[in-house]
Amino acid sequence: MSLDGIFLNSITNDLYSKLIGGRVDKIHQPDKNEIVISIRSKGENFKLLITAISSSPRLHLTNVIRQNPSEPPMFCMLLRKHLTGAHITDIKQINFDRIVEISFECRDELGTTVHKSLITEIMGKHSNIIFINENKTIIDSMKRIAENVSSVRQVYPGLKYVIPPNSDKLNPLTVTRELFMKEIESANKGIYIYNFLYKNFLGFSPFISREICYLTNLNESAYIGELSIEKIEEIWTVFNKIINKIKSNDFSYNIYYDENKNQYGFYCMDVAYLKDYDKKSFTSSGELFDEYYYELDNKNKINQRVASLINSINTKINRDKKKVEKQRTELLNAENRDKYKIYGELILASLHKTPENHKLTVINYYDPEQKEITIPLDPKINLSLNSQKFFKRYNKLKKAEEELEKLIDSTLSEISYLENILFSIEECETTDDLNDIYSELIA
């Protein structure tokens, strides 16, 4: 189930009845994609949650206390600057779509009365919170959409706010019987009635299409061309009954549970096709969402933090593994240091000889077969200094070998530790567990 236009209509009505005339006291941004506005209205204190989190976008009154960051994000600071002390003058759903505009009367720096709006778009991964002035110019948004992201519609400071395209869908609140019949008559006869309903009317979701099909005893895969006049009339009757419930603000808020007692979904009306499911009823959308999303939000936030931590730790592990490879290569070079000691000693034993072409060819007394060996020389210095240079290189590599062995052991221990942390992260069930791991990592 999703938060469709019908459900959003019920939320808008609830917010309008409680918040119109209210004064904005505080604004917080507990998550990068959600804000909480504290409002004093009609002698009560309310908290309005607006979230553009792609997995659970919504807006409603809430009683859940959220943890705020020590430093408010820039978008939060901007809203505080413009809206603290402002009064809410209007709350409306735009075109019965999943868009809500909240209008404010504010004061600018000169004390002049100005009007600004906060627009919430509930559209899955494209959900957004957009702040505009009275000329519909975007002041800023929670998610900025540049031209390289979307060539169809940009959301960026300084641009005019444009409502998302809705493919010429009809507003069901204004649809008459004649228009409904005309739409069905002109529709492709090969389309399913289930698809026709949610693709032709604003605010309708596949869920409400399924409900209409159930109430009219229709198979969801029934083609429009197969429907009799009597069946179309029956569909209109059910359609109109739902619309009249919306117009009269006749909503009931329920969470439905499957046979395993897991949350199956929610809606703002009694759902006939879910009559065999257990349900829990609420007096408002805020109460419903606080319960439905409390666990879900925590799980999503934990999953996001887990993913972020796992990604950071895996990056560190991969970096450490590359470090070990490099250290082992350096160790192999260090283990071959003896040749530099031999070079130095052979040069000392051959100081009476004359090098040729910056090389010295001598008998290698350390070789059982007593073969000749050619030693490369630095032409800028004499044989004695070349000998000392090789001895220094030998001693340096000898010391490096000891250090590299310690470093390799240390890096391998760190990799093992981080791999154990990865296992612990996957076992986390609460934010406190994650905080403990995070504290351990930065300690």
* pLDDT tens track for 1-37: 668 999 999 999 999 999 999 999 999 999 999 999 9
Q: Which residues are registered as beta bridge partners of 269?
A: none
Quick one: what percent of the chain has pLDDT higher than 90? Answer: 58
Buried b / exposed e across 322-346, counting CB within 10 Å, b at 16+? eebeebeebbeebeebeebbbbbbb
Over residues 289-298, mean pLDDT: 84
User: What confidence category does residue 286 fall into, taking pLDDT thresholds of 50, 70 and 90?
Assistant: very high
Question: Rounded to the nearest 5 degrees, what angle is found at the Cα of 146, between the Cα atoms of 143 and 147?
Answer: 150
Average pLDDT, the chain: 90
Per-residue model confidence (pLDDT) at position 442: 62
- Per-residue confidence at 89, pLDDT binned at 50, 70, 90? very high
168, pLDDT greater than 80:
yes
* pLDDT surpassing 80 at residue 94: yes
User: Which CATH code fits 172-284?
Assistant: 1.10.8.50
Provide the pLDDT for residue 429.
Answer: 65
Give 100 or 357, the one with higher predicted confidence. 100
Please work out, in degrees rounded to the nearest 5, the angle formed at the alpha carbon of residue 346 by the alpha carbons of 341 and 348: 95
Joined tokens for residue 441: 């990592």
Alpha-carbon distance of 6 to 292, in angstroms, equals 18
Q: Inform me whether the pLDDT recorded for 80 exceeds 90.
A: yes
Structure tokens at 56: 């659970």
The pLDDT tens digits of the residues spanning 242-267 come to: 999 999 999 999 999 999 998 999 99
Q: Return d(Cα 327, Cα 22) in angstroms, integer.
A: 66
What does the pLDDT read at residue 334? 65
- 115-159 residue pLDDT tens: 999 999 999 889 999 999 999 999 999 999 888 887 789 999 999
Q: Say which residue, 330 or 279, is predicted with more confidence.
A: 279
Name every residue whose Cβ is closer than 8 Å to that of residue 436 and which is 6 or more positions away in sequence. Answer: none
Q: Is the pLDDT of residue 165 over 90?
A: no
Q: Which of 390, 387, 405 is nearest to 337 (CA)?
A: 390
Q: Over 80: is that where the pLDDT of 55 sits?
A: yes
- Look at residue 78 in the predicted model and tell me its pLDDT: 97
Fold of the CATH domain 5-141: ibrinogen binding protein from staphylococcus aureus fold (2.30.310)
241: pLDDT confidence band, cut at 50, 70 and 90?
Answer: very high
Residues whose CB falls within 8 Å of the CB of residue 36, separated by 6 or more in sequence, listed in order: 27, 28, 29, 30, 47, 48, 49, 50, 62, 66
C-alpha distance from residue 53 to each of 77, 122, 139, 268, 399 (Å): 19, 9, 21, 21, 55
Sheet holding 44-51, edge to edge: 58-61, 44-51, 34-41, 23-31, 87-93, 99-107, 113-121, 128-133, 138-141
- Enter the pTM of the model: 0.72
Per-residue pLDDT tens for 179-233?
A: 999 999 999 999 999 999 999 999 999 999 999 999 999 999 999 999 999 999 9
pLDDT band at 110; cut points 50, 70, 90: confident
Q: Which residue has the tokens 């490879």?
A: 325
Q: What percent of the chain has pLDDT over 70?
A: 96
pLDDT at 47 exceeding the cut of 80: yes
- Residue 216, token pair as written in the block: 């009219």
In the predicted model, is pLDDT for residue 443 greater than 60? no
In DSSP terms, which residues pair with 398 in a beta bridge? Answer: none
Asked if pLDDT for residue 349 goes beyond 80, the answer is yes
- pLDDT, position 105: 97
Instruction: Determine the pLDDT at residue 305.
Output: 75
Q: Confirm if 217 and 13 have CB atoms less than 8 A apart.
A: no
Q: Is pLDDT of 428 > 60?
A: yes
Look at residue 167 and tell me whether its pLDDT is greater than 90. no
Q: Is the pLDDT of residue 433 over 90?
A: no
Backbone dihedral region of 284: left (phi > 0), alpha (psi from -120 to 50 degrees) or beta?
beta
Confidence bin at 430 (pLDDT 50/70/90): low
- Those residues whose C-beta lies under 8 Å from the C-beta of residue 153, and which sit 6 or more positions away, are 145, 162, 164, 165
